[in-house]
Chain A
């Protein structure tokens, strides 16, 4: 079955950087777009970024306005791994970050989701 396992979360100071990883298994990783979605503590869901199945340059990557220019999504097909490089972190970036497989390639529905990794931005 499909499995997505996030890692890399932790505590970071404002202005700092962090890289999240999402190890994927149970499906043909190179055939599906992938998303990052976040959830601030006790709050709702916010889409963060998407990379197409063939994402290797900027034209195949999309970002929420709130993270554009600070976050970079990427993927390594040889490792079946999705990444989120987060720079210039702010307190409002504190959240559980979920990676999610696109439902059918590029449908922009999220299915399934990983268990999430918590990022805390605090001094």
Chain B
């Protein structure tokens, strides 16, 4: 099983600041990585797929990068609605699909 490790566990930032979230895979997943956002009491929402492609309707302030084992989700300037938990997910090792433990972006 491919283990995804997200860091930091919690990121405390102010609106307008830049957020940089990391996801590291225990072995290469090529570019087969996605990012999801989950707000309290809501289902997750797909933000980024194939490491760097924004899903439909996702604002341009969200961007993804990386390949192999190291990936980054960047939020260029935090809006109030961006404070949430973010998960990465890999699909390289089918039929095993795994998620990272999540990074909580909280208001400082």
Contacts and interface: CB of A to CB of B under 8 A. Distances in A.
* Size class of the B contact interface (CB-based, 8 Å): 20 to 34
Contact of B46 (A44, A65, A112): A112
Interface stretch (A10-18, A23-31, A45-53): A45-53
Contact of B97 (A47, A113, A114, A116): A47
A44 B87 contact: yes
A112 B45 contact: yes
Interface in A95-117: 98, 103, 107-116
Nearest to B99: A45
Given A44-B87, A45-B87, A110 B99 contact: no
B44 A107 contact: no
A32 interface: no
B46 A109 contact: yes
Contacts, number: 55
B49 A113 contact: no
B91 A108 contact: yes
Interface residues of A, number: 21
B45 A107 contact: no
A107 B49 contact: yes
18 contacts: A44-B100, A45-B89, A50-B95, A62-B95, A63-B95, A64-B97, A98-B44, A103-B46, A103-B55, A107-B91, A108-B97, A109-B91, A110-B44, A110-B46, A112-B43, A112-B45, A114-B43, A115-B43
Interface of B: 34, 36, 42-46, 49, 55, 87, 89, 91, 94-102
